Amino acid sequence: MPEVISSQGVISHDDWVLVERPAEGETLTLPSGPVLVPLDYWAANAGELSGRGDIGVWLDGHDDPDVLAAFANDLPVIAINFPKFSDGRGYSTARLLRERHGYRNDLRAVGDVLLDQLQFMKRCGFSSFVLRADKDIGKAASCLNFFSQGYQAATDTDEPLFRRRA
Amino acid sequence: MYVYDEHDRQMLAERVAQFRDQTQRALAGELSEEEFLPLRLQNGLYVQRYAPMFRIAVPYGMLRSQQLRRLARITRDYDKGYAHFTTRQNIQLNWPQLEEVPDILAELAEVEMHANQTSGNCIRNTTTDQFAGVNSEEVTDPRPYCEIIRQWSTYHPEFAYLPRKFKIAVNASPHSDRAAIQVHDIGLQIVRNAAGELGFKVYVGGGLGRTPMIGAVIREFLPELDLMTYLEAIVRVYNRFGRRDNKYKARIKILVKALTPEGYRQKVEEEWAHIKDSPTRLTRAAIDAMKKHFTEPAYADLADCSDTLAELRFRHKTFNDWLTHNVHPHKRAGYAIVTLTLKKTGVPTGDVTDRQLEQIADLADAYSFGEVRVTHEQNVVLADVRQDRLFELWQALTPLDFAIANLNTLNDMICCPGGDYCSLANAKSIPIAEAIQRRFDNLDFLYDLGRIDLNISGCMNACGHHHVGHIGVLGVDKKGQEFYQISLGGSSQHDASIGKILGPSFASEAMPDVVEKIIDVYVNNRTEEEEFLDTYRRIGIQPFKERVYA
């Protein structure tokens, strides 16, 4: 059973089904139930999809979050895919969605999501995490809080250490 | 020098605990090698040719005597009793055991040291001028800004998985650049504008390696309070748009070239417009608080003692040579900056034994307020020595082989560990350095040649900075044989340039002869006031080619 852990460390059943990008020439048919659709599919069908509580969007590493600028908060979930855990674009994408576009709903990390990166993801604004299948979600909560503080301002705090010290 | 507070100590303790846990999971097979790789790299640990190699951070090159003694102990307890000063003001151990690295980190943390981000695709150790704070030329002391950058870049949540490594260097001297800022991913030159305000001239996209490039200026004047937001904008643009498909094309310089410097500048300015007033913006109070960590030591009120020194110079030629070459003027009357050279022929460049580390610590305590600086040329600086004790210090240094007066000469070469240690290397570099040092063993001849930067790298990753050597040597592999390619005319100073390749490469035995021929051409063509680089720039590469390949 797929599970998701929140940035607060709460594990729950993951209801969202991620729909892959259709191959060239194929059309996408959505399964029933809550789905995460690729950004370009959503952009092409925004009129009919937006405002639906069961449709979220997922962004790939190269996707530009600016596309969602005006609509972000219409979406119940935005997922950011990590094609490889070592591909760090998703961290910037997350901060832009939160800090630039004011996105307030669930921001989910999907793909090659491991344990040791979770706290950085959380600091960049992710609020939920679907771990790679072979990783033990039971260990995630402690990884989310390994560091008691950070030096920088990020999505989680407006107070970089130099401001707290002053 | 920066002293940790409870925040720094707490985060560092957490980092050590985290890496201990990660190491255990790696050893237990819970983390694959691929998953462990960036974690261990960002804690300084490489897996090398014969053993792991462990790189310890020396932020902007500053070390206290207590830290040197701890390093000495660590090399004894966990390694083979020696360490290596790198070309990025860091320190490497060549023989640690993987399972002991968390213990080494814990020992380092006790003296406010670490190995954070000394490798991996993240923001690395920020480097600066080894004469920071003591040279009269600088606009202001760059170290408070280096420490501010260090803290911002340490465990930065957004920038731990950049396309490639990322290096920042800061310089504050208008006429010299001992930090080589134009060959860094970001180079910051501290300047004052017409109104007298402090700020930064910002270079991006410099670098060595496979595709050497001089950085481009994307901002002539960045006000000092805007430093962190602007750096965040530069790195964010790189993180989002830098290439990730090919590690050889992943450095920021490739992106800057693809977008053009103007195109990159526009993207940065656009990004920056959104975040320039964000909480990351520095405050006057934060800068002032940081500056308090870098106040002057308790200098005595002294006058310069030129007369006494002149007399001693007259009586002792070797002291005279040392004073001329290894001692630099200090901003404070009665003091001097002394460089200890670690370039003894027969000893791998930058290598020091545990005992030598302790000797340096003792010298720092006795002569320089307990602090030293490590240079990217792999020497060590005592920055605050009383002039009236220079002769005494020289006498103390001489038997320790730290007083070899070859600073900035042909024999003061930069040299990477090369094929003797490094798994990336195509060729050995240490024996080449040694053979050249043996050929040019007459100091007076070296002095007559003037300043010559000879830089040797064992592969194109260019840890030995060969591209910016006046004479650069690059080890290459040809069908399993080690060969050496020469380039001429590089410079890492304000007039930075990338050296031009002379021609086909040479076998190792030929190298001393080849260098000698290059020197001959210079000597035969120079005018009275010219240094090597001036002559090269005037006459071009052709005369050197003709002589070497005659």
- What the block records as the tokens of B375 is 């240079």
Interacting residues of B418 by C-beta distance below 8 A, sequence separation 6+ = B425, B427, B428, B429, B430, B456, B457, B458, B464, B475
3-state secondary structure B372-439: EEECCCCCEEEEEEEHHHHHHHHHHHHHHCCCCCCCCCCCCCEECCHHHCCCCCCCCCHHHHHHHHHH
Residues A150, B11: C-beta atoms closer than 8 Å? yes
Amino acid at A73: N
Per-residue model confidence as pLDDT tens for chain B (550 residues) = 999 999 999 999 999 999 999 999 999 999 999 999 999 999 999 886 667 899 999 999 999 999 999 999 999 999 999 999 988 889 999 889 999 999 999 999 999 999 999 999 999 999 999 999 999 999 999 999 999 999 999 999 999 999 999 999 999 999 999 999 999 999 999 999 999 999 999 999 999 988 999 999 999 999 999 999 999 999 999 999 999 999 999 999 999 999 999 999 999 999 999 999 999 999 999 999 999 999 999 999 999 999 999 999 999 999 999 999 999 999 999 999 999 998 888 888 889 999 999 999 999 999 999 999 999 888 999 999 999 999 999 999 999 999 999 999 999 999 988 888 888 888 999 999 999 999 999 999 999 999 999 999 999 888 899 999 999 999 999 988 999 999 999 999 999 999 999 999 999 999 999 999 999 999 999 999 999 999 999 999 999 999 999 9
At the second CATH level, the architecture of B6-110 is Alpha-Beta Complex (3.90)
Nearest neighbour of A123 by CB, restricted to B11, B157, B162: B157
The domains spanning B135-292 and B306-400 adopt the same CATH topology: no
Q: What residues of chain A lie within 8 A of the CB of B17, using their CB?
A: 146
Q: What residues of chain A lie within 8 A of the CB of B278, using their CB?
A: 99, 153
Asked if the model's pLDDT at residue A34 lies above 80, the reply is yes
Report in angstroms the alpha-carbon separations of B30 from A109, A116, A139, B27, B35: 21, 12, 12, 8, 9
In this structure, the number of other CB atoms found within 10 A of the CB of residue B288 comes to 11
DSSP state of A20: P
What's chain A's Rg over C-alpha atoms?
16
Measure the CA–CA gap between A58 and A55, rounded to whole angstroms: 10
The domain ranges of chain B are 6-110, 135-292, 306-400, 414-548
Model confidence over B237-271: pLDDT tens digits?
999 999 999 999 999 999 999 999 999 999 999 99
Is the pTM higher than 0.90? yes
Nearest neighbour of B152 by CB, restricted to A85, A99, A151: A151
Q: Are B393 and B405 in contact (CB under 8 A)?
A: no
Q: Select from 3.90.1170.50, 3.40.50.300, 3.30.413.10, 3.60.15.10 the CATH code of B414-548.
A: 3.30.413.10
User: Number of helices (H) and strands (E), helices first, in chain A?
Assistant: 6, 8
- What the block records as the tokens of B545 is 């080619």
Beta-carbon contacts below 8 Å between A and B: 109
- Could you tell me what percent of chain B has a pLDDT over 90? 89
Q: What b-and-e string marks burial along B72-91, b requiring 16 or more CB atoms within 10 Å of the CB? A: bebbbebbeebbbbbbbbbb
Model confidence over B138-157: pLDDT tens digits?
999 999 999 999 999 999 99
Q: Are B185 and B206 in contact (CB under 8 A)?
A: yes
- What the block records as the tokens of A107 is 């921001």
In this structure, the number of other CB atoms found within 10 A of the CB of residue B324 comes to 12
What length does chain B have?
Answer: 550
Q: At what angle do helices B317-326 and B306-315 cross, to 10 degrees?
A: 130
Nearest neighbour of A160 by CB, restricted to B14, B280, B289: B280
Residues A165, B157: C-beta atoms closer than 8 Å? no
Q: Select from 3.40.640.10, 3.30.413.10, 3.20.20.60, 3.30.70.20 the CATH code of B135-292.
A: 3.30.413.10
Residues B11, A123: C-beta atoms closer than 8 Å? no
Q: How far is the alpha carbon of A149 from chain B, nearest alpha carbon, in Å?
A: 7
Q: SS3 for A70? A: coil
Residues A165, B39: C-beta atoms closer than 8 Å? no
List residues in chain A touching B: CB distance below 8 A.
61, 85-89, 91-93, 95, 99-100, 114, 116-117, 119-121, 123-124, 146-154, 158-166
CATH of span B306-400: 3.90.480.20
- Which residues lie across from B57 on neighbouring strands? none
Do β-strands B506-507 and B500-501 pair in parallel, antiparallel, or remain unpaired? Answer: unpaired
Nearest neighbour of B14 by CB, restricted to A123, A148, A153: A148
Residues B15, A147: C-beta atoms closer than 8 Å? yes
φ, ψ of residue B139 to 5 degrees: the values are -70, -45
Residues B283, A163: C-beta atoms closer than 8 Å? yes
Task: Give the domains, in start order, of chain A with CATH numbers.
Answer: 3-165 (3.40.50)
Rounded to 5°, angle at Cα B274 from A163 and B272: 85
Q: How far is the alpha carbon of A140 from chain B, nearest alpha carbon, in Å?
A: 13
Q: Are B23 and B99 in contact (CB under 8 A)?
A: yes
Q: How far is the alpha carbon of A120 from chain B, nearest alpha carbon, in Å?
A: 4
Interface confidence (ipTM) of the complex: 0.97
